[in-house]
A and B are shown apart, each in its own frame.
Chain A
């Protein structure tokens, strides 16, 4: 995945990899062992916890090992709206973020290609939001759209908004916040891809009397597909598990909770670990299905 959009991209040299043997092993082992211990086994812990049953000796937050598939049934029936909301919010926000980001990425990569200064400034501005806590940014939107804010009052005065209308706490506000937070994640991979677009191909299209729209549809867009897929994954996956934007203290309300909000509440507040784990396992399973479709398409070497 093209994460590294920044900096001068020196041409890659043929590395002619040698047979590794012991050196490669010692270089790889510590890091891979670390991931096995603190990434893979936690996923197994999650599955085990999702099947636990309440401890016979009682007590809040105490569970015994078991094979209680009922936890999954309970999680699905109890939290169906939140599950549905997570994926529909994620889908909607991803599509919107793509629509907003593509022209920006295109502009920086193609139109500003021969103007390094402009390109540098624009890229800096794309990543600028990363440098200020996303919680602060999300909270800023909450205040901007709060009930007595300038914007909401203006909308009411003009008559677009009824006097009892509000923005914060609605599905609109949550999707808005999600889209805002993830525009850079969508823009960067598409930019990195379009930056390598061979403009002679586009030229060839217009030489053959294709209209600009047709050239874009037949050449530029299909070639940028890998960037679009990276950006889509980088946006959809984090959004599906997010719970800050939809939280009541930020842009959400009583009816905007997503899977993440339920996992947080169950795990950290009411200590219902099995239900929280069952929901996490289902979320992970969905993502794995999505990602394996991606891997099938492009193989594992392109992943990183």
Chain B
């Protein structure tokens, strides 16, 4: 006779309830993006599509969102390039100062944002640099770089060196080997890293607040608006970004599971 296992029912119930709990603020933000609010978006006043259709009526939300995208795209391009180079070197080559390099890459991951933010701001102050778009981008490349390295490194480690060797045996030049073999194989890892860097940059608030001067970003807008109440248009932007990101994640997952099924056939 099988024993009645408490864990069998208890654990799934617990997991279900915790996920429900995790989703509460997301659902709340989404629902209140449809609120027909007058000034503050606290009390439910009825359903409207107006916030979604006319997001840019709140010009500040729109321009802050635009800045966030611009910063995230630029920082992602730079960080992904630099990070991919480091990742390849870490896996493929032996070199001196390896542990020092690992430590230098790890430290930004282990530093509280407020320390990185204040430190960089103190340096810009010492150098007499004016804070603006360029200083935010510099800051974002700095704190996303290590995340890119970690992500791409995992992918480089799965490459089979024999494939590149085969290319060399067939008289491909080093550039050709990289362009035709290494890079295409690394691409999924690089794209994942880029998506991570973009998400981190887009959502960053603390480092941004210390280094952006007068430039407004979406999280900064939300933080400032919180004092007097966040307008529903901000909920619209947040919800829209959420939906797009979820669509991408699901698409990636479906694609990779289809691929796996094909392979196992």
Closest to A266 in B: B118
Are the CB atoms of B14 and A13 closer together than 8 Å?
A: no
Residues 267-280 of chain A, each 1 if its beta carbon lies under 8 Å from chain B, else 0: 11000010011001
B82 to chain A, nearest CB (A): 4
B190-206 interface with A by 8 A CB criterion:
192, 199, 203, 205-206
> Counting CB contacts under 8 A, is A159 at the interface?
no
Given contacts A30-B85, A116-B257, A133-B218, whether A283 and B114 have CB atoms under 8 Å apart is yes
Are the CB atoms of A4 and B82 closer together than 8 Å?
A: no
Alpha-carbon distance between A239 and B29 when the two chains are bound, in angstroms? 23
Among listed A21-29, A77-85, A161-169, interface-contacting one: A21-29
Residues 83-94 of chain B, each 1 if its beta carbon lies under 8 Å from chain A, else 0: 101101111111
Tally chain B residues at the interface, Cβ within 8 Å: 103
Are the CB atoms of A13 and B11 closer together than 8 Å?
A: no
A183 to chain B, nearest CB (A): 7
Residues of B contacting A212 in the complex (Cβ-Cβ under 8 angstroms): 7
> Counting CB contacts under 8 A, is A178 at the interface?
no
> Counting CB contacts under 8 A, is B55 at the interface?
no
Are the CB atoms of A39 and B11 closer together than 8 Å?
A: no
Are the CB atoms of B226 and A267 closer together than 8 Å?
A: no
Alpha-carbon distance between A103 and B16 when the two chains are bound, in angstroms? 11
Residues 142-160 of chain B, each 1 if its beta carbon lies under 8 Å from chain A, else 0: 1001110111011011111
Residues of B contacting A17 in the complex (Cβ-Cβ under 8 angstroms): 91-94
B93 to chain A, nearest CB (A): 3
Given contacts A6-B192, A304-B149, whether A249 and B223 have CB atoms under 8 Å apart is yes
> Counting CB contacts under 8 A, is A38 at the interface?
yes
Residues of A contacting B108 in the complex (Cβ-Cβ under 8 angstroms): 35, 39
Alpha-carbon distance between A107 and B18 when the two chains are bound, in angstroms? 12
Are the CB atoms of B239 and A24 closer together than 8 Å?
A: no
> Counting CB contacts under 8 A, is A66 at the interface?
no
Are the CB atoms of A241 and B206 closer together than 8 Å?
A: yes
Among listed A68-76, A117-125, A198-206, interface-contacting one: A117-125
- 22 chain-A/chain-B pairs, Cβ below 8 angstroms: A8-B256, A12-B157, A15-B92, A15-B156, A16-B161, A27-B88, A31-B149, A104-B15, A124-B246, A131-B249, A134-B205, A183-B22, A238-B112, A243-B114, A260-B114, A268-B209, A273-B122, A277-B122, A284-B111, A287-B111, A287-B112, A303-B102
Residue ranges of A at the interface with B (Cβ–Cβ < 8 Å) = 1, 3-4, 6-8, 10-13, 15-21, 23-25, 27-28, 30-32, 34-36, 38-43, 45-46, 48-49, 100, 103-104, 106-107, 111, 116-117, 120, 122, 124-144, 146, 180, 183-184, 212, 233, 237-238, 240-244, 247, 249-250, 259-260, 263-264, 267-268, 273, 276-277, 280, 283-284, 287, 291, 295, 300-301, 303-304
